[in-house]
Structure 1
Amino acid sequence: MSMVLYPLLNHDDLRRWRACSRRFWLYRRSEHVATPKLAGREARAEDRADVSAEAAVVHGPGVDAALRASYPLADIIPPPTTQAEWTRALRQTLHCLDGDRVAPEGWAILGACLTSEDRAQARIDVLTCGERGLRLFKLRYATVGDESDVDTAAFWTDVAARCGLRVQSVGLLLVDTDFIYPGHGCYAGLFREVDLAPVLGSRPVAAWLDAMRSCDRGPQPPATPGTHCTQNGGCEFTQQCAACTVSAAETAPDPLAKLEIVGHDLATEFRAAGHTDLHSVALQTLDNTRHRRAVRAIQQGAPVLETEVAALIQALPYPRHSLRFDTIGFAVPLWAGTRPYQVLPFQWTCDVLQADGHCAQHGFLADAQGGDPRRAFALSLLQVLDSRGAVLAYNAGFERNRIRDLARLFDDLAPALEAVLERLVDLFQIARGHYYHPVMAGSWSFKSISRAVAPDVTLVLDESLAPSPQAAFAHSLQRGLDAQTRQQLRAALQTHGQRQTEVLRRMAALFEAAAGGQAPDHRDPH
């Protein structure tokens, strides 16, 4: 009889099993693990993400330099992707842990690979020396950790202990938001340590591993639908769980008429009264004018636009500037004098509409060679906004706060920047007080209002380039990026900015056309 060897368990298996035993069981038998399961395989996916455009939004182009600055003498073990690479990584880890070697200050192993005798596998973010043993860290480019981080650290600790390593302490490495980047790659001090000793005892890893092995060898667990089906990006096997989809599909209310549109308290009252959505709610039961407007639009299946909004738009002086900012916050600061996650503007787009109907498009986009872009951002913005006309924005408090930040940073530009604040007009407040379209589904985000006033304008970037504007910009700053890709990213960002200001123009034109009670026209007037 041949012996059946199940793939080794790693911390991603633990994460799936803790969320749903069925998901764990299905994943272990899916095409994802058609070849022997490697802890390094999951690590490889994470490392690919580390240098991807999406992760750069969180980490920043300086992510590698930041960790190396904290451990300048680190041994770095590349993530293994095959069994042979894993074997080499394991040997390299053991060589780095050679007991006859005195570890100098600033030494660590980044990506230590270990396999325990009970067939558990770990690729540990950081292993370094303490006075009485090794110090183990789970690295997060975030300000706080979560329960899954503690689970992972406990799992790694168990593997290390079973490999005969003496672990002195276990913790998280998190980003310290008090850190101010001095420039020149000096990232020492970016991370703060959080001791996990007080909570590790609540993680019975050995019992978990036994239960996982029993589950892996047993029959398929039953479906247990719940919030875990949609958390953290959702389960990849949801469509295979009839219990998670069939009953929900049969009873799901109209998502465009959900009771929560009028607030959670009222939704609870209406649900207790037997309502499943807003189609059956009587208008006279609603005291709030905005709620009545939304329910009226939902029940008539058409947008509601109050005629008095036209006068508000007509009173706005020309030239009218439709303005949008794009900002980013790096976990690993890129420009000297900035902090982790500090909100930094990198692009503005502005359409300038004259009284005769002529419209000109303007914009600014920071580049990889220009360094801190904020002064160039402010100067170019002031040149286009000049000193006359309304400045239209959506949720204008965001643009207002960024302009104030710039005014505090540049004393010589402060008077002109502060003068812009007096000209800002918030289309969000105007829309919220006079308009509702059923497609908004209760959301007043810019994307939701754009679906209502400009349904043919897409605000989503080409996902083959980047999943978001912030991702596209961060990726464009990567060193060694080829010129063609960089230009494609910049062109996509500029197009995205122009689409945003087009939405603002259409919104203002739609509201201005409400005079005389005419029906809303969502076509582009220009």
Structure 2
Amino acid sequence: MPKAYQLTKSKYCKGLNCPKALYLSVHQSNLATPPGPAQQLRFDEGTEVGILAQKEFVGGVLIEEDHTQLAQAVEATQTCIGDKSIPAIFEATFIHDGVLCRVDILKRNPDDSWDIYEVKSTKEAKEEHEDDVAIQLWVLEHCGLKVRNVFLKHINPEFICPNWNEYFMDTDLTDAARFKVLKEVDSFLSKQKLLLSQAEMPDVHLGSQCGNPYVCEFKDYCWKDVPAGSSLELYRSKKKYDIYYNQYEFIHEIDPKQIKLTEFQNRQWLASKQDEPIVNLEGIRKELLKLQFPLYFIDFETVAFAIPFLDGMKSYQRLPVQWSCHLMISPESEVEHIEYLVDVDSSDDPRVACAKSLDRLFQRGFGTLIAYHQSFEIGVLNELADQVPEFEEILRESVKNFWDLEQIFQKSYYHQDMAGSCSIKSVLPHFAPELSYKDLEVQDGGSAEATLNKMVRGLLPADEVQARRHQLLKYCKRDTEAMLVILENLLDLTKVKLS
């Protein structure tokens, strides 16, 4: 059977965000970057949330035919529509005028009208969801269905496990969807079909659409020719795309009299004109002298489940399941490495187990807890204190003693090789190029979280668990080792002697 469609609801929404991304997704999909472990985790959790939503519609029927059997899926949907004993249809499939949509949940009403439910694993309705449901409404009504209401079924931000009857909330998007069908959909579809009929890919400038509302799968392809040192590296600049295309391609070309730069951006501009870093030695010394022994170089890894399994937890609430700490008791002492990784075979509550491990760590007394981007670690510890009252006192005390290594690079140190970023993975190569993450099996926090998520939920094959634990321990250790090395370099640079 020839392909009866080019557009789907997801491609339609993609085209509204970026015509080039739509064109590539249809004609050159091989240029897309495959989803990484973190992104695949989000996809999988979205599927799980969708299955959970189906349980609210007792007696509903799933259209099981997949994307390779669309004609059969459309036929099965029509059969279910004709059977009035079926109260709801899951993955109901429709094609009209080259547009395919599969409705997450289609609920039958007593008057033979239907309600559309789009299920999302988010905790709120977002603007882009309106376009998602609008195209579904357009297709279904053109297929002859009488649609009464259009809902977005999403996670209730106030849900606390195990109150499962409060997990979902429905946001009525009927008016928004009807407005878009009336005013926008026909015009947008015409433009998208014309675009897809053309032989040449549209020329679309890089812009905020590359990362919003999500990172585009074609970003690596579209950004591959952006030169190092371009004005797209301007730190937190809302005008960087305009500057890049219409004024100055490179940071070193910028005229500060014409472009108002922030303090950080000004350091970038200065650094772009020389090989050496821009350094505020006095500012760094002032911060380093705040450090008090013992020094805890600490980093957490967390999981955050869309569907939590521990009583008292919300969806996507962070659960610390791993930490690494390089510890210096005094200036003369050897650096000690201590680490923790949840034991998935234990019957202990992982929150309590983690809190106990931190209690043992902090028995050495508080000096300074050194983190990189401390708001994450502080947030994790405060949330853990809320969940484990037995250890609340020591956990609350710990957050009073943080010192953020990242602030040095936000305020007092910048080299052009950092490419507009203060992340530890951008800073580390400047100080210790031999100490990278490229030799590790787990190389970033998203991959670590995806592996931990599977491990905690018992989804890893039994023969892989030990190897994965080893990989996770090496990754987390590298983070705190990196902090230690960076701090040692700063101490050498400033000639500061800690006591």
TM-score tier by shorter-chain length is 0.7 to 0.9
Structure 2 residue aligned with 1:53, among 34, 41, 55? 41
Corresponding position of 2:455: 476
Corresponding position of 2:121: 141
> Could you list the per-position Cα deviations for residues 10-66 of structure 1 after superposition, in whole angstroms to 9, with x for gaps in the alignment?
223423443455654565444779xxxxxxxxxxx99x999943535x659x63663
Corresponding position of 1:332: 307
How many angstroms apart in 2 are the aligned matches of 1:288 and 1:229? 24
Q: What code does the residue aligned with 2:82 have?
A: D
Is residue 348 of structure 1 aligned with residue 320 of structure 2? Answer: no
1:515 Cα deviation after fit: 4.2
- 2:320 partner SS: strand
Q: What code does the residue aligned with 2:303 have?
A: I
> Could you list the per-position Cα deviations for residues 236-278 of structure 1 after superposition, in whole angstroms to 9, with x for gaps in the alignment?
4996xxxx889x86xx6823x7784597799999x99989524
Q: Percent identity?
A: 21
CA spacing shift, 1:375–1:275, aligned 2, 3 Å: same
CA spacing shift, 1:360–1:337, aligned 2, 3 Å: same
Q: CA RMSD in A?
A: 4.5
Corresponding position of 1:63: 49
Q: What code does the residue aligned with 1:53 have?
A: L
How many angstroms apart in 1 are the aligned matches of 2:414 and 2:444? 34
CA spacing shift, 1:202–1:4, aligned 2, 3 Å: same
Aligned counterparts, 1:200-279, within 5 A: 200-203=178-181, 204-217=184-197, 220=200, 222-225=202-205, 227=207, 230-231=210-211, 232-234=214-216, 236=218, 254-255=229-230, 260-261=234-235, 277-278=251-252
Structure 1 residue aligned with 2:63, among 77, 96, 108? 77
CA spacing shift, 1:358–1:127, aligned 2, 3 Å: same
How many angstroms apart in 2 are the aligned matches of 1:173 and 1:164? 24
How many angstroms apart in 1 are the aligned matches of 2:261 and 2:192? 54
8 Å contact kept, 1:171–1:193: yes
Structure 2 residue aligned with 1:92, among 76, 80, 88? 76
Corresponding position of 1:302: 276
CA spacing shift, 1:336–1:70, aligned 2, 3 Å: farther
Q: What code does the residue aligned with 2:100 have?
A: Q
How many angstroms apart in 2 are the aligned matches of 1:188 and 1:176? 10
Q: What code does the residue aligned with 1:159 have?
A: V
Is residue 159 of structure 1 aligned with residue 157 of structure 2? Answer: no
- 2:273 partner SS: helix
CA spacing shift, 1:142–1:483, aligned 2, 3 Å: same
8 Å contact kept, 1:393–1:425: yes
Corresponding position of 2:10: 12
- 2:373 partner SS: coil
1:217 Cα deviation after fit: 4.7
8 Å contact kept, 1:404–1:418: yes
Structure exhibiting the larger radius of gyration computed from Cα positions: 1
1:445 Cα deviation after fit: 3.0
How many angstroms apart in 2 are the aligned matches of 1:174 and 1:295? 44
- 1:299 partner SS: coil
How many angstroms apart in 2 are the aligned matches of 1:464 and 1:264? 29
Corresponding position of 1:120: 99
1:166 Cα deviation after fit: 2.3
With normalisation by structure 1, the TM-score equals 0.75
8 Å contact kept, 1:21–1:221: no
Structure 2: gaps (5+ residues): none
8 Å contact kept, 1:172–1:195: yes
CA spacing shift, 1:387–1:145, aligned 2, 3 Å: same
Aligned counterparts, 1:324-403, within 5 A: 324-355=299-330, 356-369=332-345, 370=347, 372-388=349-365, 389-403=367-381
How many angstroms apart in 2 are the aligned matches of 1:510 and 1:150? 51
How many angstroms apart in 2 are the aligned matches of 1:488 and 1:130? 52
Which of 1 and 2 has higher RCO (CA within 8 Å, sep 6+)? Answer: 1
Structure 1: gaps (5+ residues): 34-44, 519-526
8 Å contact kept, 1:229–1:235: no
> Could you list the per-position Cα deviations for residues 456-485 of structure 1 after superposition, in whole angstroms to 9, with x for gaps in the alignment?
433577479995322222222344431133
1:191 Cα deviation after fit: 1.8
Corresponding position of 1:495: 474
With normalisation by structure 2, the TM-score equals 0.79
Structure 1 residue aligned with 2:383, among 397, 405, 408? 405
8 Å contact kept, 1:348–1:497: yes
Which is worse superposed, 436-445 or 509-518?
509-518
Q: What code does the residue aligned with 2:9 have?
A: H
1:8 Cα deviation after fit: 5.0
- 2:308 partner SS: coil
Q: What code does the residue aligned with 2:99 have?
A: A
> Could you list the per-position Cα deviations for residues 270-315 of structure 1 after superposition, in whole angstroms to 9, with x for gaps in the alignment?
x9998952467699x9999877765554433123455554575467
1:5 Cα deviation after fit: 6.8
Structure 2 residue aligned with 1:512, among 485, 491, 494? 491
8 Å contact kept, 2:206–2:241: no
Corresponding position of 1:424: 402
CA spacing shift, 1:68–1:478, aligned 2, 3 Å: farther
Corresponding position of 2:168: 191
CA spacing shift, 1:340–1:291, aligned 2, 3 Å: same
Corresponding position of 1:109: 89
Aligned length: 482
